[in-house]
Structure 1
């Protein structure tokens, strides 16, 4: 009986450690003008060849509120589905983007308007930047915009993500871990600081 209990305890311990090793959550505080205005919770789960990333952003600046959700699903390190939604306060602009893989192409729907990305395998998305330093990566797919964006290393573990209007977001890594994101928005500069 004692040996059965030891074996059972060992199996449970190994299972718990295995699950923890394949699930990761990173939490960031959103700061504007050195004031905390929200949080970002990034969660990644890996199960064999499948990977899921969920990012939930909750921000409130004065009377303006923004809730953003991203859900990415991958198979064999290739994006199969990405869903992004951003719901703003009363006067804000809501946005929904869906990206679906169909053979060797992706159908991208942004607020009801469809487009197609031909002959592509999307391996790196903006959501991946929250978990892995993008060494050797020169572009990532934006789940929100439904298009590829250039990514450039600027040294010191820092990378610039260049947005369509020319603004640049900077991702800073220490020992391969994302610790800070500097975002340039229309309302000013925001910092995402890892907690």
Structure 2
């Protein structure tokens, strides 16, 4: 009888921990070949949450191109309070974002700027976790900028990049199923394989 009580108590303790974590995995395709993957993890603790993204991509054209990206975001009460994005490879970059009283301090490649936004609710990494049904803008942790979101209907959204390129995100049941991302070297497809 004591074992049953212990098991029930342990189950009740562990259930919120398991329920508070989500993991997603995407394969990255370029010219219809898998060239890497993206792993996204979200942990929720009450009204706070943390989101991490790890992207590992290697493309062989004339020369080999590697782009590894690590992003870590922290939210308090559904508001972004801190983000760090590190991109390593042929074009290394680092961007940090820190919430201040009424705006955000953004440091990109060593240059500090102020983003005059009181609250960031939705970041690009969140696109991998949930459909941006009410988002008008999404914050790019790597660029340190707000990007416009335009609903296209049928669970599809267009994100406009500063260079004029458009990325398309397609959802199924509120989860990202596939993204079409336009880079300088061509179009890549991110397709969910787990989560």
TM-score range, shorter chain: over 0.9
Shift of residue 177, structure 1, vs aligned partner? 1.1
**CA distance in 1: counterparts of 2:25 and 2:117, whole angstroms:** 35
Instruction: Detail structure 1 runs of 4+ shifted over 4 Å in the superposition.
Output: none
Question: Structure 1 residues 119 and 194, CA, compared in 2 at 3 Å: closer, same or farther?
Answer: closer
Map 1:20-99; keep pairs closer than 5 Å. 20-62=18-60, 63-88=64-89, 92-99=90-97
**CA distance in 2: counterparts of 1:185 and 1:155, whole angstroms:** 24
Shift of residue 119, structure 1, vs aligned partner? 4.7
Aligned partner of 2:98 among 94, 100, 104: 100
Structure 2 match to 1:182: 180
Structure 1 match to 2:126: 128
Map 1:145-156; keep pairs closer than 5 Å. 145-156=143-154
Shift of residue 41, structure 1, vs aligned partner? 0.1
Structure 1 match to 2:116: 118
**CA distance in 2: counterparts of 1:35 and 1:77, whole angstroms:** 37
What is the RMSD computed on CA atoms of the aligned residues?
Answer: 0.9
Shift of residue 18, structure 1, vs aligned partner? 1.7
Normalising by the residue count of structure 1, what TM-score does the alignment of the two structures yield? 0.95
**CA distance in 2: counterparts of 1:147 and 1:31, whole angstroms:** 26
SS at match of 1:99: strand
Is 1:12 the counterpart of 2:13? The answer is no
The number of aligned residues is 190
Normalising by the residue count of structure 2, what TM-score does the alignment of the two structures yield? 0.95
Provide structure 1 residue ranges, at least 5 long, that are not aligned to the other structure: none
